[in-house]
Homo-oligomer: A and B are copies of this chain.
C-alpha cells in the first residue's frame, strides 16, 4: 500500500487539498468539503463533476469520460473517474460545479466589498528615553487611534514592541487592539466561518487580508450522540446543567477538531486566527452559547435571545487566538435561525422586487417569502423523513444508499443507482422522493397516497401493510429486501405538506399565488441534491418553470463567510432581521386546510400542478 499524500491545488480558488496516492479525486474533494454536486454516485453518468487537470499525473481516461469529452472537449475529465498519482493542479469549472462551490466562489469574487473586522495596521512607534517615558501601550493606542485593547495583550506587548525595535504591526478588531507583532517576517491573519448544522459542522478558513478561501473541513456534529434531531437534543440538554454542559462541549469539541485540521492543512498556527463567525439554527446557536432552549421548544415558543452574540473565543474554550472574538448570527425566532438569516443574505432575497421565496429543506424546514414590502418567514417541522430518517429502509445519503430511482411504464421494473455504486443498503432522501414520484407517475399510488393493490407486481402486503418492493433480497448488501411502505409514504406526505402549505400560506399572506413566484431559492444540503422535477411531482415544490429554481447549497456556510469578510454585511444583517415578520402558522386560520390539501399527491387542487401533470399525461 502506497501511503504517499499528494497536494492538489484547486483553481480558481487556490484551495489546497490532500489526496492519497491513487485516490479518487471526487472523494478527496468531498473530504475537504468541496462538493461538485454529482448525482450519479460517481459512476461517470451525470457529468456534473467535470474538471480540467492543469498539471500533474492522473489515471487514464475511462470509457464514461470519453462520452463527456465528446460533448465538452478533450481537456475535460470527470472528477469521479480521475485518480491522483502526483501533486497536481486542477480547475473546477464554474458552469458545471455544484452550488456549494459556486456560492463560495461568488463570495471570493467579492460581490461585496472585502472589509473584515480584523485589520493589520503598520506602526512605527517612537523610541522611548528618560525624557519620554510614555507607556508602550499608550503610544500604540494613540498611533493606531484606538481606545480599547484586549487585556491579554498586556502580557507581551512590551516584549513584542521592543524585540521588533518599535516597528510593529497592530492586529485590530474593529476599534480594539488584539495583538502586536513584528513587521518582519509578516504574519498572515486568518478567520474562520462556521456552519453549525444539526448533523454536519463545516469550517471555512479565510485569509483576512485578501479574502481568499484557504481550506474547508467538515465533520459530523458530535451532539448527534445526544439525539439526531433538535427536539431530542433539547430534551437531553434540559434534563440537567450537566447535560447542557455536555451538549455545549460536544459542539465545541467538533469546532476545535475542525480548526485543528484547518490549521494543519494551511500550515499555520492557532494564534493566527483572529476572528470567527458561526451560523446555525436557533437551537445550534443556543447550544453553542450554553442555552438549553427549554422555553423556546414549547408554546408559545419564546427564544431566550435573537440578537447576534459576540464573545471572546476563550470564553467558549475555542482554540484560536485567545484575543479573538466569536460572533453568532442574529436569529429571527425560535425556529427561524441564523442559518436562514445566512440564506437570506446569500440569496439576497431581501433585495427582490418581484415575488420571491426561499425554502431551506432540512429536518426543520424554513420558508421565507418576499412580496413588495412584505417579508415573511416561518418554520415547519418537516421531520426527518425527507432526509431518510424514520423511513423503514431509510438511511443517510452515504455509500450504499439508493439515491435515484426509475420505474418502468408497466410499474413492474425498478432501476436505481446507489451512492458509491455498491449494492444497496437502504434508501436516502432523494431516492425516496424519486420513488414516490415514479409511483405516482406509474399509477401505483393514487392522489391520496394510497398504494393500489394490483397496480404493480411489486406491490405486496406484509404484516397487514401494503408495500412496494424496491430491491429484492438477492440484490442488496445485507440480503434483506428494500421497500417503501404505506407508512413511509404517509411520513413523506406530512413532510412535504408541511413545506408546501407553509409556502402557499406565506404566499397568500403576501397576496400572491404560489405560481406567481418569480424565483425560488432552495437551500440546505438535501435541497442541493433533490431534483426539482421529482419534487414537483410529489408536490414538495411548486410547479413553476425549472429556471426559476436556484439552488444555493450551503447558504449557512456561505452567509457566515460573507459576514466574516464584510463589516457592512454584518450591519446589514441586523437590519434585515428586523424587517422579517415571523408568521406563527397555528394562528393563520386557513393554514390547517392548506396543510390538508397539500397532503395529496401532488395537491388536492391539481390546477396548481397543471403544467407538470399535463406533460406527464396525468391530467
Contacts and interface: CB of A to CB of B under 8 A. Distances in A.
Contacts of A334: 133
Contact of A289 (B133, B151, B307, B311): B151
A587 interface: yes
A165 interface: no
Contacts of A162: 295
A582 interface: yes
A617 to B, nearest CB: 45
Contacts of A586: 130
A151 to B, nearest CB: 4
Nearest to A293: B158
Interface stretch (A134-142, A386-394, A567-575): A134-142
B302 A158 contact: yes
A509 interface: no
A176 to B, nearest CB: 12
Contacts of A582: 133
A135 B303 contact: yes
B587 A130 contact: yes
A299 interface: yes
27 contacts: A128-B300, A129-B300, A130-B586, A131-B584, A133-B301, A133-B334, A133-B584, A135-B302, A135-B307, A136-B303, A136-B304, A137-B305, A137-B307, A138-B307, A141-B307, A151-B315, A154-B286, A155-B244, A155-B289, A157-B291, A157-B304, A158-B291, A158-B304, A159-B294, A159-B295, A162-B295, A314-B315
A133 B17 CA distance: 45
Interface in A322-353: 331, 333-334
Given A136-B302, A302-B136, A289 B154 contact: yes
Contacts of A227: none
Contacts of A314: 315
Give the most central of A157, A162, A299, A305: most B CB within 10 Å: A305
B333 A133 contact: yes
A159 B307 CA distance: 18
